[in-house]
Amino acid sequence: MNNSILRFLKYFAVGFSTFLIDLALLYLLTDVFLLNYLLSAGLAFLTAISINYYFSRKIVFKKTEIDFSKGYYGFIIIAGIGLLFVIFLMAVFVEIFNWNYLISRILTAGVVGIWNYLINLFINFKVAGKH
């Protein structure tokens, strides 16, 4: 199998797993602890993305040349931009279209997931073409 495809499939598996954590935390914070859905989305996203970084580093981008903490800072900056997309799109879907916050979060995941993968691949982990 092509290394780029294999890397993307690994990234998808890690991302899907941590996205399930994201959704579970979003639900817990919103429906159990009664936080605002946008605050819950931000907290859940940042928690899940930190878990995602660890597993992406160990499974997907093993050959990165950037040390762990420096890479994490770059990852968090990229994720912060992704978080802005999440908050904006969720607010639009929930406030304007009156969609359920969980459905809105699921829809935003595709856009943000692709953004995070491509930016991390080419900028943060700098492994494009090295596998």
> Is position 15 within any domain?
yes
Average pLDDT over the chain reads 87
The set of residues, in sequence order, having a beta carbon less than 8 Å from that of 42 and lying 6+ positions away, is 83, 86, 87
What is the pTM (predicted TM-score) of this model?
0.82
Q: For a pLDDT cut of 90, what percent of the chain falls above it?
A: 47
Which CA distances in Å does 9 have to 31, 60, 80, 101, 106?
32, 9, 23, 27, 19
* Alpha-carbon dihedral 72, 110, 112, 51, rounded to 10 degrees: -20
Return the amino acid letter for 10.
K
Q: For residues 14 and 2, give the distance between their C-alpha atoms in angstroms, rounded to a whole number.
A: 19
Question: What domain count does the chain have?
Answer: 1
Per-residue model confidence as pLDDT tens digits over 31-83: 999 999 999 999 999 999 899 888 988 888 777 777 778 778 887 888 888 89
pLDDT the model gives residue 129? 53
> Is position 129 within any domain?
no
Q: Which residue segment(s) compose the domain that 42 sits in? A: 3-124
Per-residue model confidence as pLDDT tens digits over 72-110: 888 788 888 889 999 999 999 999 999 999 999 999 998
